[in-house]
A and B are shown apart, each in its own frame.
Chain A
Amino acid sequence: MRELAERGYLWCIALAFVAFVLVTIGLDYAVLVTAPWVLLALAGIAAVLLIVEARGVALAANRFKWYAIGWVVAAVVAMGLWALAQKDVQAAWPALKSFRKMWNVFEPFALFAAALFVLIAIGILAIGTLDKGMHQPGRLERTFAVNMSAKVAAVPMAFTAIGVFVISTGWTIYHSFTNSKLLPKSQFIGLDQYERLWSTNRWLVSIENLAIYGICMLIFSLVIGFVLAALMDQKIRFESVFRTIFLYPFALSFIVTGLVWQWLLTPEFGVQKIVRDLGFENFTFDPLFNADWVIYGILFAALWQGTGFVMVLMLAGLRGIDQEIWKAARVDGIPMWKTYIFIVIPMMRPVFVTALVIIAAGIIKVYDLVVAQTSGGPGIASEVPAKYVYDLMFGGQNLGQGFAASTMMLVSVLVVLIPWAYLEFGGRKRG
């Protein structure tokens, strides 16, 4: 019975929290608006049950008292914040009015947090009086009381993380099944948006470009980055100078990189003109104006910008290899290239994984480089998915279509990520 009450209490509080977050981000359906209060009431009943089980609340002088006092203090602070948002208080203290907007945002959160904290305090008191001789923390204690200050501090971050990563994603997916245009609305049209998406030439070109760009970017930046790092690791002179030079492009934004390479690759005053001025009159080099080559022009700019960073990562990894490994390999008579491939690179696996994740994230979100360098042209030859999403959502005022495209991007990322995560983390538990 006590176990059940404790479990019910925990679930009610967690669900009330989620429901409240949902309401605050704008999903104000009647069910959701009432849910937090219903759930909190249920939690209150569970707390009462716990108290009954404990045969009365004795404010026992044990560790639970201190935990509960902590949560009550947190509730008082939250109530204080709430009070600052009230008109009467603001009238009495005019300086607050200049922050009115901020207080208005705080108001519901503060009120809810105060209620939550009080309820948590009650629950802890109940559990504390239930068993004064508890030797080890129970579920409630572990959830709310152990390391309490850290948990209170994490509440805003929990709000943000749940709001941004879980609820917003769900919201996007949900609306990708609607015919939202300028504003989101809940008129379902099934998979129509996806059917339209996959019959749009521009989207197909985007996907193809992303595939070419992604595969080439991944391979070339890893290979070039590693080779540069290996060359830098040969105890060369002026290493720091070279390192700075190679890393420098990384300090530029994609917009600047895109513009610089747009100019360099423009026939009228870029590479082509220079070579022609040298006397090669028929030389032609205009990748940005050729629909078949334009994505490689973008790729080149991205490599120029990104390999320096990969190199620095790899160099750090190489520096982490024990010098005695190199000596042992030399004594074993293993040539340097074989030492790199069969010994050093496998030892650098964590560095490669890090580099891979960073590069992959950069590939999926490539947008500004394309905008600055080609604006998706010539025609639609250098479109990429992120640009498609942005253009549809904010340019074409077709939110549903943009949501469908971004959902497809999410799905493609998950298709890659889930098997990888399963191999990387699931396998370890078994092995």
Chain B
Amino acid sequence: MSVSIRHLDLNFGPVEVLKDLNIEIHEGEFLVLLGASGCGKSTLLNCIAGLLEVSDGQIFISGKNVTWEEPSKRGIGMVFQSYALYPQMTVRGNLEFGLKNAKVPKEERDRRVARAAEILQIEPLLARKPAALSGGQRQRVAIGRALVRDVDVFLFDEPLSNLDAKLRADLRVELKKLHHALDNTMIYVTHDQVEAMTLADRIAIMKDGLIQQLGSPNEIYNAPVNKYVADFIGSPSMNFLEGVVEGTAFRTGDTVIDLSTYGFTAEASGPAWIGIRPEHVLTGGFSDVSGLTAEVTVSIVEPMGADTLVWTQLAGTDFRFLVDGQMEVKEGDRMQIGIDASRASLFDKSSENRI
């Protein structure tokens, strides 16, 4: 079911937490709200859930205005970071409690619990108490609690943040499978860009209560709308060089990058930033690059297994790029690198928006 947020404002006293937010979430879409802590992403999710009263604006779920509706009547299920399971009830009790309270008949209850347990593979755990479960199992039960309610929209509030890295990766894949199997609308809050990129149909990057960019993971990765988004997405993060755009050239110090293949979105000249992702820097075996070729000295090498991150200096600034992990690179080596202007991003110096 679709969710639409129109002109949403939220103030805590004089502090504006959310500022005139507008998002249309399509039916069956997996939307990730991504941002650093304090950007308002969890607040927005709580507003959608009805756990916080909005100051202004409306929220529609399945075309119905639910702005002032109780959370339980909105057709949403929510999964929390700390699992928020009821500790003194068994897993089955946790799954059933909301249903019992809504006076769902016993057969129906059993059917729904059995289905959720099957989907999440927690059937053997039904008689246990949450204290006897591992973190991953607890989070599955928490998802199950949303699942049994037969809701249209799932809300996830950093559900994997309390898990260790390995489990997080496993559960991430399972969430993706779950989304394929159920085809529900899901809204997912995280500060982890890997989760965002892997799970999302669309990502909304938030900062200071405003949405910076709303788009598919690819759009956000390849064409970030401003310097904040460009810096936030990507690991290791993007290199930025400060300079001046002059016609189809970017000049930084003595270095000139040819921009003839760059897709300008606006007429541009003047001070600007150029952003180049470390993984887009070409090394060895390239010919004829339409941006810049330069010879650099390696200052630091960070091997990461599959890749090696190489630190160097370009135009007087720290500059990182990735090379294949098998390649032998030592500190002090001289290397040929190439920058493809068509894969770079240009941002205006003052507004920091993409040009």
Contact = CB atoms under 8 A, between A and B. Distances in A.
A346 B94 CA distance: 14
B82 to A, nearest CB: 5
A366 to B, nearest CB: 33
B236 interface: no
B82 A331 contact: no
A327 interface: yes
Contact of A325 (B86, B98, B101): B86
Given A343-B86, A346-B88, A347-B87, A332 B145 contact: yes
B73 interface: yes
Interface string A315-343: 00000001011011011111100100011
Contacts of B83: 324
Contact of B84 (A324, A334, A342, A346): A324
B59 to A, nearest CB: 15
A320 B101 CA distance: 25
A322 B71 contact: no
Contacts of A347: 86-88
A327 B72 CA distance: 10
B51 A331 contact: yes
Interface centre among A330, A332, A342 (most CB of B within 10 A): A332
A335 B70 CA distance: 11
Interface string B80-112: 111111111000000001100110000000000
B189 interface: no
B98 A327 contact: no
A333 B70 contact: yes
Contact of A331 (B78, B85, B86, B102): B78
Interface residues of A, number: 16
Given A322-B82, A324-B81, A331 B72 contact: yes
B76 interface: yes
A26 B84 CA distance: 60
B207 interface: no
Nearest to A339: B86
Contacts of A334: 72, 97-98, 101
B209 interface: no
A245 B5 CA distance: 45
A342 B87 CA distance: 11
B113 interface: no
A333 B81 contact: no
B277 interface: no
B54 interface: no
Contact of B78 (A328, A335, A342, A343): A328
Contacts of A330: 50-51, 70-72
Interface in A4-56: none
Nearest to B80: A324
B83 to A, nearest CB: 8
Interface centre among B46, B71, B146 (most CB of A within 10 A): B71
B71 A333 contact: yes
B149 interface: yes
A335 B134 CA distance: 29
B338 interface: no
A335 B145 CA distance: 17
Contacts of A335: 101
User: Main secondary structure on chain A at its contact with chain B?
Assistant: helix
A332 B97 contact: yes
A346 B87 CA distance: 9
Q: How large is the interface on B (under 10, 10 to 19, 20 to 34, 35 or more residues)?
A: 20 to 34
A346 B145 CA distance: 20
Contacts of B50: 330
B71 A325 contact: no
A327 B86 contact: no
B148 to A, nearest CB: 10
Nearest to B99: A332
A328 B80 contact: yes
Contacts of B88: 343, 346-347
A328 B72 contact: no
A327 B70 CA distance: 12
A324 B82 contact: yes
B76 A331 contact: yes
A330 B149 CA distance: 13
Contacts of A325: 84, 86
B233 interface: no
B323 interface: no
Contacts of B78: 327-328, 331
B86 A333 contact: no
A331 B84 CA distance: 11
B49 interface: yes
Nearest to B93: A342
A327 B149 CA distance: 15
B85 to A, nearest CB: 8
B40 interface: no
B77 interface: yes
A95 B101 CA distance: 79
Interface in A346-373: 346-347
B283 to A, nearest CB: 47
A328 B83 CA distance: 9
B140 to A, nearest CB: 15
A327 B101 contact: no
A332 B80 contact: no
B113 to A, nearest CB: 14
A333 B73 contact: yes
Interface centre among A322, A331, A338 (most CB of B within 10 A): A331
A333 B51 contact: no
Contacts of B46: 327
A335 to B, nearest CB: 8
A347 B157 CA distance: 23
Given A346-B88, A347-B87, A332 B98 contact: yes
Nearest to A343: B86
A332 B72 contact: yes
A68 B85 CA distance: 55
B89 to A, nearest CB: 8
B171 to A, nearest CB: 18
B243 to A, nearest CB: 48
Contact of B72 (A324, A333, A338, A342): A333
A335 B149 CA distance: 16
A335 B73 CA distance: 13
A342 B101 CA distance: 11
Interface in B302-336: none
A332 B81 contact: no
B51 A332 contact: no
A325 B85 CA distance: 7
Interface string A94-119: 00000000000000000000000000
11 contacts: A327-B51, A327-B78, A328-B78, A331-B71, A331-B72, A332-B72, A333-B98, A334-B72, A334-B98, A342-B86, A343-B86
Interface of B: 46, 49-51, 70-73, 76-78, 80-88, 97-98, 101-102, 142, 145-146, 149, 157
Interface of A: 322, 324-325, 327-328, 330-335, 338, 342-343, 346-347
Given A324-B80, A327-B51, A333-B101, 6 more contacts: A322-B84, A328-B78, A333-B72, A335-B101, A342-B97, A347-B86
